[in-house]
């Protein structure tokens, strides 16, 4: 499976700057979800090098917009370069430099089709109520790296990221506002659909 040249370039840039890059299979799943939902409005928490945004935008209509939030200015800069090089217009993304816990409360209620969380696992639980507030009914929350490279399934693992992910998985699974499932692709994808 090959990616568009813009994604390949962003993947190389991510390596140069020490940023995580989602797998091709994870990108393909994101693309399918966005296309199936007819997503027009997406929030991405954790910009990285712009790879996730490119996969999503490939599947979104021409007027679809990804709002991408990151506290790291360098991540935002590199993502802008990657998106420009991929030929994606500036009107397709809304980069917001800031801490997610400061930005998410300012986003509109029930206004987003998808929220993608690609953030430190220990921060995810703090985002849940904000995410469910901004998602429209039928919208999807997607947690990337949900299996932490199979560590979540290993009962001997008790390090902070693994414990945090287990708690988020349990919390979203038990939340009556969602239907959720884990997709064992890449480092794992947790998908929850708001009822």
Q: What are 78-97's pLDDT values in tens digits?
A: 999 999 999 999 999 999 99
Distance of CA 118 to the CA centre of its chain: 5
The number of residues in the chain equals 195
On whether the CB atoms of residues 91 and 118 are closer than 8 A, the answer is: no
- Sign of the torsion angle spanned by Cα atoms 166, 169, 173, 175: positive
pLDDT: which is higher, 16 or 107: 107
Q: What are 92-118's pLDDT values in tens digits?
A: 999 999 999 999 999 999 999 999 999
CA distance 58 to 69: 19
The upper half-sphere exposure of residue 18, i.e. CA atoms within 13 Å in the direction of its Cβ, equals: 2
Say whether 187 sits in a helix, a strand or coil: coil
What pLDDT, on the 0 to 100 scale, is given for residue 4?
83
Within 10 Å of residue 100's Cβ, how many Cβ atoms? 22
Tell whether pTM > 0.85.
Answer: yes
What pLDDT, on the 0 to 100 scale, is given for residue 154?
95
**Degrees, nearest 5: CA angle 163-164-169:** 100
Q: What are 133-178's pLDDT values in tens digits?
A: 999 999 999 999 999 989 999 999 999 999 999 999 999 999 999 9
What pLDDT, on the 0 to 100 scale, is given for residue 149?
86
Q: Which two tokens stand for residue 110?
A: 């029930």
Q: Look at residue 2 and tell me whether its pLDDT is greater than 80.
A: no
Q: Which two tokens stand for residue 23?
A: 């797998």
Q: What is the helix (H) or strand (E) element at residue 31, kind and residue range?
A: helix 24-37
Q: 5-194: which CATH topology?
A: Rossmann fold (3.40.50)
DSSP 151: G
What pLDDT, on the 0 to 100 scale, is given for residue 3?
80
CA distance 143 to 68: 15
Q: What are 121-131's pLDDT values in tens digits?
A: 999 999 999 99
Q: Look at residue 42 and tell me whether its pLDDT is greater than 70.
A: yes
CA distance 80 to 68: 11
Give how far Cα 118 sits from Cα of 42, 52, 85, 91, 144, Å.
Answer: 13, 9, 23, 22, 5
On whether the CB atoms of residues 79 and 47 are closer than 8 A, the answer is: yes
Q: Look at residue 184 and tell me whether its pLDDT is greater than 80.
A: yes
Instruction: Write down the mean pLDDT value for the chain.
Output: 95
What pLDDT, on the 0 to 100 scale, is given for residue 1?
63
């Amino acid at each position: 499976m090959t990616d568009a040249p813009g994604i390949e370039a962003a993947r190389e840039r991510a390596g140069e700057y020490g940023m995580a890059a989602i797998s091709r299979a994870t990108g393909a799943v994101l693309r399918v979800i966005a296309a199936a939902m007819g997503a027009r409005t997406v929030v991405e928490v954790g910009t990285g090098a712009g790879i996730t945004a490119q996969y999503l935008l490939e599947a979104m209509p021409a007027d679809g917009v990804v709002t991408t939030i990151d506290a790291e200015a360098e991540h935002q800069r590199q993502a802008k370069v990657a998106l420009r090089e991929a030929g994606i217009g500036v009107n397709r993304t809304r980069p917001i430099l800031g801490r997610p816990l400061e930005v998410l409360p300012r986003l509109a209620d029930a206004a987003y089709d998808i929220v993608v969380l690609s953030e430190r696992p220990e921060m995810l639980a703090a985002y849940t109520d904000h995410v469910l507030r901004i998602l429209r009914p039928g919208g999807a929350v997607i947690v990337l790296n949900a299996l932490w490279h199979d560590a979540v399934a290993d009962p001997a693992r008790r390090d902070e990221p693994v414990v945090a992910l287990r708690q988020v998985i349990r919390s979203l699974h038990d939340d009556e506002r969602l239907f959720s499932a884990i997709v064992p692709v890449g480092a794992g994808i947790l998908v929850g659909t708001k009822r």
